[in-house]
Chain A
Amino acid sequence: MINIFTRRSAMALAASAAIAVTAGAPVAAADWKPQKPVEMVIMAGQGGGADRLARLFQSIIQKENLSSMPILPVNKGGGSGAEALRYLKDNEGDAHKIMATLNSYYTTPLRTDIGVDITEYTPIARMALDTFVLWVNADSDIQTLDDWVAAVRASGGEWKMGGTGTGQEDSLLTAMLEEEFDLDITYVPFKGGGDVAKNLVGGHIDSTVNNPSEQMGFYNAGKSRPIVAFTPERIAAFPDTPTAGEEGHDIVYWMQRSFVGPKDMPAEAVAYYTAMFEALSETEEWKTYTEEKALMADFLTGDALQAYFLEERAKHADILQIMDEGSS
């Protein structure tokens, strides 16, 4: 089991003990409690962005004592999350399994028929929306979105865009860019966001649409340059990077970070986990993390979350259709 914590709190052991006492209170009010360790299924493999975030949640929950039983992360990343989706389907009504989702929650069942219907799952809570930024190597001459579009055109289809795999979020965003600017881009899949970032800095690919957290180290060292953010407003961590909207192209794309439960999860359990995540979303650790990593903390639960899932699924169905048309 993994526990990860912020440096500040680790240094102040006494302080964290005090927090644990106060934070435990609201959860204790619920009358249902998990009777055995809770499995937190992660739709991605070990070490990726989604995994790290899920393990951060787990460690905050443990440290602040938000759950009476330990939360045990289990990676089921096979088949772009198909493995996790099937696993949840096979554990109908289980009150001790929750799943950390990302956008493959909709795209995987849309792309291949794996026999799951995401409307059956029980929405618990959306913790955050992760942002996407277009990056180039700092040595490149590209400064603006227009420069980038011109450079891609000039390359005649040989422009290399790195990403984490066909059907993944960055490939969808690449397809959206191709559609918007009528470009022809070569998409090169890598094994994870860190690998993509490294290949950009090493000059093996020409641009990426990484999450900011994956490029942060290189950005701070002056090795990579953000060109444009795919958010409605500028990201606080990159005040000088314009949004695509400001440049006259309305491209907005998010990665959702939510939790769902299996079909027919008991209502008391849903209430318990919802309260747990609500308490989590108010912790200092989480607030600091979202600021540093340029995440949008946007808490959403219940029916509103389900409505959001359905809306996003429809949007992704459209993007996937554009992608299919583009490739055939």
Chain B
Amino acid sequence: MLTADRAIALAIIGLSLYFMSHAIALPIGWNGETGGPGGGAFPFWLSLIMALCAAGVLIRSFGTPDDGLPFFDPETIRSVAAVAIALTATIALTPILGAYVSIVLFLLWYLRVFGGHGWTLTLSLTAATPLFLFFFFEVTLKILLPKGWTEPLFLPLYATFF
């Protein structure tokens, strides 16, 4: 638990420094000419406070005894990682294969492989979801979802529903 706590505190310090390095592109001081702080002041000084507090967390961790508990639950961390990876893969595929293919693949994996549901439930949900998305988002709300390579397949649908 302590190791994870320190790693996260360090990561936050790193992030703060990264923000600060970008914030200095704009004036960070009290900008005398316009009155009030410059454009970079808010992000810079707040990042600094963030870094100091995270450093405080880090220093404090050396004074506390380790509770010996693992940060990740060893039984379920594999499931969490699997879902996180599947989600990332789905997002990465969406602009290429289109939302309708990537989401169907995701649901197939999640319901059948990960969730262990039967084919009836899996197939009915994977079929119903894209239909719902198309009619709710595209036809009703007129929000087009990414199509990628599947774009030409949708041209007749556009002609019918718009």
**Partner-B contacts on A (CB < 8 A):** 1, 35-37, 39, 69-70, 72, 186, 327
Contact = CB atoms under 8 A, between A and B. Distances in A.
B81 interface: no
B158 A36 contact: yes
Contacts of B159: 35
Given A35-B155, A327-B33, A70 B162 contact: yes
Contact of A36 (B35, B141, B155): B155
A72 B144 CA distance: 9
Among A35, A36, A72, A186, max chain B CB count under 10 A is at A36
Nearest to B158: A36
Given A35-B155, A36-B154, A327-B33, A1 B162 contact: no
Nearest to B155: A35
Nearest to B141: A1
B78 interface: no
Contacts, number: 23
Given A70-B162, A327-B33, A37 B142 contact: yes
B149 to A, nearest CB: 15
A70 B144 CA distance: 11
A46 B148 CA distance: 27
Contacts of A72: 142, 144
Interface in B133-162: 141-142, 144, 151, 154-155, 158-159, 162
Main secondary structure of the interface of A (DSSP, over half): loop
Contacts of A1: 141-142
B162 A69 contact: yes
Contacts of A69: 158, 162
Nearest to A39: B144
User: Which 7 A/B pairs are nearest by Cβ-Cβ distance?
Assistant: A1-B142, A36-B158, A35-B155, A70-B162, A72-B142, A69-B162, A37-B162
A35 B158 contact: yes
Nearest to A33: B159
Given A1-B141, A1-B142, A70-B142, A37 B33 contact: no
A72 B142 CA distance: 7
Contacts of B155: 35-36
A144 to B, nearest CB: 29
Interface string B18-36: 0000000000000001010
17 contacts: A1-B141, A1-B142, A35-B158, A36-B151, A36-B154, A36-B155, A36-B158, A37-B142, A37-B144, A37-B158, A37-B162, A69-B158, A69-B162, A70-B162, A72-B142, A72-B144, A327-B33
A35 B152 CA distance: 10
B107 to A, nearest CB: 25
Contacts of B151: 36
A174 to B, nearest CB: 14
B114 to A, nearest CB: 35
A36 B153 CA distance: 11
Contacts of A36: 144, 151, 154-155, 158
Among B141, B154, B159, max chain A CB count under 10 A is at B159
Contacts of B141: 1
Nearest to B39: A166
Contacts of A186: 35
A70 B159 CA distance: 10
A276 B159 CA distance: 19
Contacts of A35: 155, 158-159
A278 to B, nearest CB: 23
A37 B137 CA distance: 14
Given A1-B141, A36-B144, A69-B162, 17 more contacts: A1-B142, A35-B155, A35-B158, A35-B159, A36-B151, A36-B154, A36-B158, A37-B142, A37-B144, A37-B158, A37-B162, A39-B144, A69-B158, A70-B142, A72-B142, A72-B144, A327-B33
A70 B161 CA distance: 11
A1 B137 CA distance: 11
Contacts of B154: 36
A138 B158 CA distance: 53
A36 B144 CA distance: 10
A69 B144 CA distance: 13
